[in-house]
A and B are shown apart, each in its own frame.
Chain A
Amino acid sequence: MTGTRVRPARALAQRLAEAEATIEALLSGQIDAVVDSKSKTPVLLSKAQDALRASEERYRRIVETSNEGIWTIDTDSKITFVNRRLADMLGYSTDEMIGRSFSQFIPEASEAKAPQRFESSHQETSEETEVKLERSDRSELWVLLKTSPIRDADGTYVGTLAMMTDRTRARQDEEALRKSEEQYRQIVETTTDGIIKLDSDSRIVFANRRFAEMLGYQPREMMGVTVFEFMSAAEKVTAPDSIQRRKIGLKGSFDTAFRHKDGTEVSVNIAGSPLVDTEGQHIGTLGLVRDVTERRKMQSQLMVSDRMASVGTLAAGVAHEINNPLAAVIANLDYVCDSLGRMVGGDAAARSEGMSDAWIVEEIKSPLDDAREAAQRVRFIVRDLKIFSRSPSDEPRGTVDVKAIMESSLRMAWNEIRHRARLVKNYGVVPGVNANEARLGQVFLNLVVNAAQAMQEGRAEYNEIRVTTRLADERVIIEVSDTGAGIPREIIGRIFDAFFTTKSVGVGTGLGLAICHRIVTDMGGELTVESEVGKGTTFCVALPVATHTREYEVVAPVEPVVDAGRRGRILVVDDEEMVVRSVQRILSKEHDVVAMVSASKALALCTGGERFDLILCDLMMPDMTGMDLHRELALVAPDQANRMIFVTGGAFTAKARHFLSETPKEHLEKPFDSANLRAIVQRYLRSGL
């Protein structure tokens, strides 16, 4: 029976048809299970669906437990899904939110600014933007919003997925950080100190406004520039050392000087701290820069004013000191004038009497000798005073003789001392010290006056001021002791403090000892005190011995003029007519003297072709100074310029000091006596300079 048998070709066709139907059914999703050809068991296709469901479940859980708020909206802006997190963030339940328009939760979205920012129908995944939402209690909720479109299988836009991160806390933190930074910025920008940050190559990476102002720049002009570029030439040499110390991790402060954009010097104190990275590597330096120019000025002003005060308290004494010899000068000169007057206008008897040697000695020579000696004393007092009148800034240090300075100070203070105590001097032989004469004089004067004021007036025979100099351990010790009231133990620690005084108002400034202390310390010395109440006080100044061995200025004894020598032609220039006349009087017997009372007239003379062997010229004159004359002569008559001897009253300006030291020039200090003047002129003419 072939009828019941299926022919192979037909069977194959049938199998193919079945296979085709199977594939079609599979593709259209009508199949539940496929029998696995290996295990011969059916595998449920729905297992895949279970897996899908499980995966959906997993996503759902992620969405629900996410820290981010998530919602989806449909094309009508209605919320179709919201996770718990977002509902919690906004203070609603999920049910309350689903179905409502999202714009109810975003106040901005209802504003004119198109809501497309919150949808994404036309764009791909959006950038993150910060958006303000409104909670159920109407408070603000700041979120970082990111949206992406939802599309169906055909790619048609069906809604938007939005993810939101709560930024409220972050914003608060940022705000707090911003405020804190603002606060620091304000501190840094408004502080009266300059603040700079340097990198490891000492380049400026930060400078606050104050620092820039200090030097006259804009902060940005200073960025990246090596800090040394702003320093004065001298400081460029020493400053790198200080920076180097920061590099090895040392904090510290040092004084240095910057150069202002306008060229002036700015004195500063820099407190530097090293900056290190987390591995301890030096990455730069932080510097707190304090402008101490004013303070420096104040300090020197204080010193000057203290010295003025010291001089002021002594003015009466000095006046007394000067008036005594001056009285002798005037009285004696009057006497001589009288005597000569009587002789000139008197009778023959008187005239013949006036010719006798005895009369001349008694009436003229003796009183003039006395006047001269008295005038000499005035000269010394004035020289002492000069020590105290110099300004400290233009005063160089040099090797000075402490004994000479102490003597000057004692003469200055003599009026204070003599009513109160006996003065005992106990000078040991000591080498010179490296010091500034005027400042050391100020210290000694202060100590001596203090010693005197420690004792009551009127009991001079019972009290003693003892001045001692000695050498100990390579230091020169100067002691000033008194037998006065002594200093109580409880205040002895404060006596070197500025403005500390036990003296009544008007007697002491309270600055004296503080300034003394500073002066002595600046010289590398030490000022100490020992005191016992009721017994007295000893101040001790210890100064290092001068290292270089410059000789003190010693006035060479004047060699008597035995020989009138060569007769020279001399020009005398001085604005003080009396001086001109005196010089002319002294020199005209031995030389031809031309006198001029102004430098410009003298210049005209030389320009006119007049030539002189020597020009004695005052250094400081109104209008044209001796320095000006020298400069002009150097141009028109260089040979004349080289023949100038300068005469000075001693009140040097810095300029004059510089002028005299620039090239060695002869100069003569006023007051000079006639022997001295004649000797110098003779020597000059003889050496034929």
Chain B
Amino acid sequence: MARTQTKESGLQLRLYIAGNAPNSVRAITNLKAICDEHFASACALEIVDLLVHPQRALADGIIVTPTLVKLLPLPVQKVIGTLSDTNRVCQALAST
């Protein structure tokens, strides 16, 4: 538990997108806005383009884009869609 506690401040996110498909573009824009506003201090974001790395989808169990995965802090949470519902995204990211 202590380990998790220590890394609580470090938010690690991964966003799976499909090239510059409109919803993906929208999801990136929305996510960046949320991070800037609520988690500006400690937020590591990785963006994975499944069109470039399709095998990553397989490995990570992703079935649609855009999908946001909160890797840390645990538990792992997924948010699917364009991330336009800011409240829901914040809830998911803040969950421990």
Binding site for B on A (CB under 8 A): 3-4, 6, 14, 18, 21-22, 24-26, 28-35, 37, 40-42, 44-46
Contacts and interface: CB of A to CB of B under 8 A. Distances in A.
Contacts of B63: 22, 34-35, 37
A42 B17 CA distance: 10
Given A4-B74, A32-B66, A46-B21, A21 B81 contact: yes
B4 to A, nearest CB: 8
B54 interface: yes
B80 A42 contact: no
Given A31-B64, A35-B62, A21 B82 contact: no
- Most interface-central of A26, A33, A41, A46 (chain B CB within 10 A): A33
B51 interface: yes
B37 to A, nearest CB: 21
Contacts of A30: 23, 26, 66, 80-82, 84
A657 B20 CA distance: 121
Given A21-B78, A21-B80, A32-B24, A40 B17 contact: no
Contact of A18 (B51, B58, B80): B80
A42 B50 CA distance: 7
A interface SS class: mixed
B50 A33 contact: yes
9 contacts: A4-B74, A18-B78, A21-B79, A24-B81, A31-B80, A32-B66, A42-B50, A42-B54, A42-B57
A35 B78 CA distance: 16
Given A3-B1, A33-B64, A46-B21, A40 B58 contact: yes
A44 B21 contact: yes
B10 interface: no
Contact of B54 (A6, A22, A32, A40): A40
A35 B64 contact: yes
A31 B67 CA distance: 9
B11 interface: no
A40 B50 CA distance: 11
A25 B54 contact: no
A21 B22 CA distance: 19
Contact of B65 (A21, A32, A40): A32
Contact of B21 (A18, A21, A26, A32): A32
Given A33-B21, A44-B18, A28 B81 contact: yes
Contacts of A26: 64
Interface in B42-91: 50-51, 54-55, 57-58, 62-66, 74-75, 78-82, 84
A30 B1 CA distance: 36
A22 B51 contact: no
A401 to B, nearest CB: 123
Contact of A44 (B51, B57, B58, B75): B51
A6 B75 CA distance: 9
- Most interface-central of B1, B54, B55 (chain A CB within 10 A): B54
Contacts of A46: 18, 21-22
Contacts of B24: 32-33
B65 A31 contact: yes
Given A30-B66, A42-B65, A46-B22, 10 more contacts: A21-B79, A21-B80, A21-B81, A26-B64, A32-B18, A32-B66, A33-B64, A34-B64, A44-B19, A44-B51
Interface in B1-40: 1, 17-19, 21-24, 26
Given A21-B79, A22-B63, A25-B80, A32 B57 contact: no
Nearest to A23: B80
A41 B63 CA distance: 9
A4 B63 CA distance: 25
